[in-house]
Amino acid sequence: MWYIAAMKKLLLCVVMGLAFCMPAAVHAQTVREQQILALQAQIKQLQLLLTDMVLQQDTSAGSYIAVDLTTGAIISAKNSTGQFPIASITKLMNAVVATENNDLVNAIALTSDMLKPQGYSPSLFLGAVVAGRDLLRASLVQSTNDAAEALAHTAGPEIFIGKMNQKAKDLGMVDTHFEDAHGLSLQNRSTAGDLAKLMAYIYQNHPEILATTKDTDFWLPDPTGRLLKFKNLNVFYQSPGFIGGKTGYLTEARQSIASVFNVGGKPVAIIVLYSKYRQADMANILEFVTKAR
């Protein structure tokens, strides 16, 4: 058929890029259109580059990274290999190890050693018997340090922390170290790049952990039997597109967050470390990521 031959000729023209295969006027118009499209793409890329440079300068965080979890592409980053104390972001790795080692199945009787860390909750008291899953929720929702410590005691703190460090190695988090199970130690250190790997792993393998970080309806009884609500300290849990994550704060570590957001239908890990103004930094990064989609 004549149109098959014409299509073959057109395909050959596209592949070989031979100008003489098309009428001059049509070819010139096509070239102009292609040039315009190419210029538009270059302009958009330059605008994003400029915006990214401004973002890095205006962001108070010592380090951040935004990673497309679908492709693994880095959307924006600042000092993403710089190592900082990560405070309560530690509890995300605690949750992974506790979940994967079946430490959530049984109830745990709380001892004085489990209740030593700062971060007290009146619903977690000496002698209380608490389900492992409820300890995990207390750790992730209200960032309760003694709940995280209690989970570590299921295997023994040293063994549990060893598993946290081993998991970091398994995930290629080469600049990450855990000294305790909850994040009070300044020796719990990582990088934005490493924590993006952790968030990718949790998103793919343990979405229930991310879902727990958004929980706003978690209650446990105090010593009198009165139910007390655990306040969600993840300040972003109401934010549009927030899939889950964990905030952290220590005076020496400043404000931090490891999170996953739905941006334009795609999961994006956003890590912010050593920030003076975490919420403002996150808002600026999210705005840039949305524009870059």
pLDDT tens track for 39-96: 565 655 555 555 555 555 567 899 999 999 999 999 999 999 999 999 999 999 999 9
Other CB atoms closer than 10 Å to residue 126's CB: what's the count? 11
Instruction: State the catalytic residue, choosing from 63, 76, 80, 88.
Output: 88
Look at the block and give the residue holding tokens 């990673």. Answer: 67
Model confidence at 218: pLDDT above 60: yes
DSSP letter for 130, please.
Answer: E
Residue 197 class from Cβ within 10 Å (0-12 exposed, 13-18 middle, 19+ buried)? buried
Instruction: State the catalytic residue, choosing from 91, 163, 197, 246.
Output: 91
Query: For residues 15 and 271, what is the distance between their CA atoms, to the nearest angstrom?
Result: 43
Which 3-state string (H, E, C) describes 142-198? CCCHHHHHHHHCCCCHHHHHHHHHHHHHHCCCCCCECCCCCCCCCCCEECHHHHHHH
Looking at the whole model, is its pTM more than 0.75?
yes
DSSP letter for 225, please.
Answer: S
Q: Is the distance from CB of 248 to CB of 139 less than 8 angstroms?
A: no
Give the pLDDT confidence score for residue 15 in this predicted structure. Answer: 39
Give the pLDDT confidence score for residue 154 in this predicted structure. Answer: 87
Model confidence at 16: pLDDT above 60: no
Query: For residues 191 and 87, what is the distance between their CA atoms, to the nearest angstrom?
Result: 12
Greater model confidence, 105 or 189:
189
Q: Is 112 a catalytic residue?
A: no
Averaged pLDDT for residues 129-134? 92
Averaged pLDDT for residues 273-281? 91
Greater model confidence, 62 or 13:
62
Question: Range with the lowest mean pLDDT among 6-10, 153-157, 288-292?
Answer: 6-10
Give the pLDDT confidence score for residue 40 in this predicted structure. Answer: 62
Give the pLDDT confidence score for residue 234 in this predicted structure. Answer: 83
CATH topology (fold) of 62-90+158-292: Beta-lactamase (3.40.710)
Q: Is 44 a catalytic residue?
A: no
Q: Which of 168-172, 228-232, 288-292 has the highest mean pLDDT?
A: 168-172
Q: Is 91 a catalytic residue?
A: yes
Give the pLDDT confidence score for residue 42 in this predicted structure. Answer: 60
Instruction: State the catalytic residue, choosing from 123, 139, 143, 256.
Output: 143
